[in-house]
Structure 1
Amino acid sequence: MKKRRLGNSDLLVSEIGLGCMSLGTVENQASEIIQAALDEGINYFDTADLYDFGMNEEIVGKNLKSVRDKVYIATKVGNRWNENKDSWSWDPSGAHIKTAVKDSLKRLGTDYIDLYQLHGGTISDNIEETVEAFEDLKKEGYIRYYGISSIRPNVIKEFTEKSELDSVMMQFNLLDRRPEEWLSLLANKQISMIARGPLAKGLLSEKMLEKANEDGYLDYSYHELKDLLPQIKDKLSDRKLNETALQYVLSHQSVATVVPGASSVQQLRDNCQAANSPSLSTTELDILKRLTKVNKYESHRN
């Protein structure tokens, strides 16, 4: 598995990481997927304190304990479950971050977190306070690096100007090209993108239209998808659709790692095989860019 540097850090992360949210809570099944990921050369595992009320962190930490010095664990903070655990609230305060990190460390069974990410964000947040908390945690050795998970233009802009973050996690795929607007800014500041949702909820897999519904996907109607997806498959007929999808995201050098979820070992292995396939040619990239829309995130710009 090829590796790329994450931002300005010394983390060399595998081009395919494991998005752990879809592991589920059946521990032996989750363990099989994590072990398969390790066998494939994946060294980046992305979880969050929100997933399964923290149980996801526990499973990830337990299964990576024996290889802790060979892998990178990323988790997220900012969402707080209520007492009934039927909803959560947003809290990016320094006080919450400094308490939550210790809870995550305990669940993960580790002394440090390689990448700690703010799990959202709004322009009305006290960003300076959030950044200060992350910087304090770095100095104290609880975290090595930090980033944000956000697609909001105004939030991204503020953090790139007011912090020393190393990554921005965004949904990015052939049907959601909104992050392309930020590639030059991130590259100039040596900030990496972590790409989630690269297969667009399965639309960019061999199952294709089986995963489509009448609501479509973002600004693609169902009828547009019905026309577009077979075209992509036909134009790049030598490739599986998930291969085309993952290689498109990896064609952008600002992307450090792509983190598709996996709910089975076979799904994980298919994604790794696709990532290890030859890069897209200039001709293939041109075809894909002509076929798909250059979406733009219209909200949260000011």
Structure 2
Amino acid sequence: MRKRQLGQSDLYISEVGLGCMSLGTDEKHAISLIDEAIEQGINYLDTADLYDFGQNETLVGKAIKHRRHEIILATKVGNRWKEDKSGWMWDPSKTYIKEAVKQSLKRLQTDYIDLYQLHGGTIEDHIDETIDAFEDLKQEGIIRHYGISSIRPNVIKEYLEKSNIVSIMMQYSLLDRRPEEQFSLIREKGVSVIARGPLAKGLLTEKPRSLKLDKFHSKGYLSYTENELEALLSELENADSSHTMTELALQYCLHQDVVAAVIPGASKIEQLIENTSAGLAKPLTEQVYDKLQHLAKLDQYKQHR
């Protein structure tokens, strides 16, 4: 698996990582998926304290404890479960971050986190306080680097200006090109993008088109109507005979050097192998890349400017 440098850090992550949210709660199954991911050359695992009330971190910790040094481990903080687990509230305070990281370390069975990410963020947050928390954790050796997971242009600009983030996780795919507007600024600041949702909820996979569109009847996907989706998928299927749909999707994201990795989720071994194989496919030619950009919409975020 090819690797890319994460921002200007000393972390080199596989171009395809594993988004662990879809592992499920069955321990044997989850660990088998992580084992297979590592076997396939993935060294970058991304979880969060929010997933399954922390159980996801626990499963990841069990799977990697005997080979922690081989893994670039990322988790997230900021969403605080209510006492009765009926929902969560946003808490990016220094006090909460410093307490939450202790719990994550315990669940992950490790004494450090390679990439600690703020799991959201608004422009109304006390951003300086949040940055201080991450900087303290770096100084203490508890985390190696930090980043944010956000799609909000105003929040991203604040962190690019004020902090030492190395990465920004953003929903990004051929069907959601909105992040591209910010790529030049992110690149200029020496920060990397981590692309979540690169397969657009399964729309950009090998499944038959009719099955993929089933769950998008009447509601479409983002700004695409159902009819627009069907027409676009038909065109994408014939866009490049040398790549499968999954390969096109992942290689489209990876074509941009500012993107350090894509992190598709996988709930089955077959999906995982399909994803890693797509990550190993040959890069897109400029001609194919331009063609895909011509076919897919280039929308912009309307809010949080």
The equivalent residue for 2:77 is 77
TM-score, normalisation: structure 2: 0.98
Structure 2 residue 226 is the aligned partner of structure 1 residue 225: no
Deviations 1:89-133 (CA, angstroms, capped at 9, x unpaired): 000000000000000000000000000000000000000000000
Which amino acid letter does the alignment assign opposite residue 103 of structure 2?
A: D
Which whole-Å CA distance do the structure 2 matches of 1:72 and 1:205 have between them? 26
The equivalent residue for 1:58 is 58
Paired residue secondary structure (1:202): coil
Paired residue secondary structure (2:270): helix
Paired residue secondary structure (2:201): helix
RMSD, matched Cα: 0.7
Identity of aligned residues (%): 58
Residues 30-69 of structure 1 correspond to what in structure 2 (within 5 A)? Answer: 30-69=30-69
Which whole-Å CA distance do the structure 2 matches of 1:234 and 1:12 have between them? 34
The alpha carbon displacement at 1:209 in A equals: 4.1
The equivalent residue for 2:256 is 252
Identify unmatched segments of 5+ residues in structure 1: none
Which whole-Å CA distance do the structure 1 matches of 2:165 and 2:43 have between them? 20
**Greater mean alpha carbon deviation, residues 144-153 or residues 238-247:** 238-247
The equivalent residue for 2:22 is 22
The equivalent residue for 2:3 is 3
Which whole-Å CA distance do the structure 2 matches of 1:178 and 1:152 have between them? 10
The alpha carbon displacement at 1:84 in A equals: 1.3
The equivalent residue for 2:193 is 193
Paired residue secondary structure (1:198): coil
Which whole-Å CA distance do the structure 1 matches of 2:140 and 2:239 have between them? 52
The equivalent residue for 2:304 is 300
Decide whether the 8 Å contact of 1:176 with 1:295 is kept in 2.
yes
Which whole-Å CA distance do the structure 2 matches of 1:286 and 1:158 have between them? 31
The equivalent residue for 1:104 is 104
The alpha carbon displacement at 1:238 in A equals: 2.8
Which whole-Å CA distance do the structure 1 matches of 2:72 and 2:108 have between them? 12
The equivalent residue for 1:116 is 116
The equivalent residue for 2:270 is 266
Identify unmatched segments of 5+ residues in structure 2: none
Which amino acid letter does the alignment assign opposite residue 220 of structure 1?
A: Y
Decide whether the 8 Å contact of 1:112 with 1:143 is kept in 2.
yes
Which whole-Å CA distance do the structure 2 matches of 1:159 and 1:211 have between them? 37
Which whole-Å CA distance do the structure 2 matches of 1:235 and 1:138 have between them? 45
Runs (4+) off by over 3 Å: none
The number of aligned residues is 301
Paired residue secondary structure (2:4): strand
